[in-house]
């Protein structure tokens, strides 16, 4: 079994053409491409195992999306209130 360094500082082991590596989040020995950990704060090029993708990466993406939608809704409400205030000033 050969070992070589990943670009992200992790270590992979290659055995008969199969690549095994340690998930940087849980340490599980993992095979294959793994999953993009964005938006979690990991070194560029890092990959995580399927369990961490499900348990940590996907919820982090969902939370990010919710936060973005809440910011958009807040912007919309500010704009609507501002337009309503302007309407009141004109009619007063
Ligand atoms: Zn993992």
pLDDT digit string (tens) for the chain, length 92 residues? 455 555 454 567 777 778 889 999 999 999 989 999 999 999 999 999 999 999 999 999 999 999 999 999 999 999 999 999 998 776 65
pLDDT of 3 reads: 54
Rounded to an integer, what distance in angstroms lies between the CA atom of residue 60 and that of residue 41? 11
How far is ligand 1, taken at its centre, from the CA of residue 35, in Å? 10
Rounded to an integer, what distance in angstroms lies between the CA atom of residue 31 and that of residue 68? 34
How far is ligand 1, taken at its centre, from the CA of residue 91, in Å? 61
How far is ligand 1, taken at its centre, from the CA of residue 84, in Å? 50
How far is ligand 1, taken at its centre, from the CA of residue 48, in Å? 5
Phi, psi of 4 (to 5 degrees): -145, 155
Residue 21 CB neighbour total at 10 angstroms: 21
């Amino acid at each position: 079994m050969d070992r070589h360094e990943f670009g992200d500082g992790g270590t992979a082991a290659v055995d008969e053409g199969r690549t095994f590596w340690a998930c940087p989040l849980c340490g599980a020995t993992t095979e294959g491409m793994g999953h993009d950990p964005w938006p979690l704060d990991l070194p560029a090029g890092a990959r995580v195992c399927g369990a961490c993708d499900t348990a940590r990466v996907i919820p982090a993406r969902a939370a990010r999306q919710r936060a973005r939608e809440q910011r958009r809704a807040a912007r919309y409400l500010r704009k609507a209130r501002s337009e309503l205030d302007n309407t009141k000033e004109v009619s007063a």
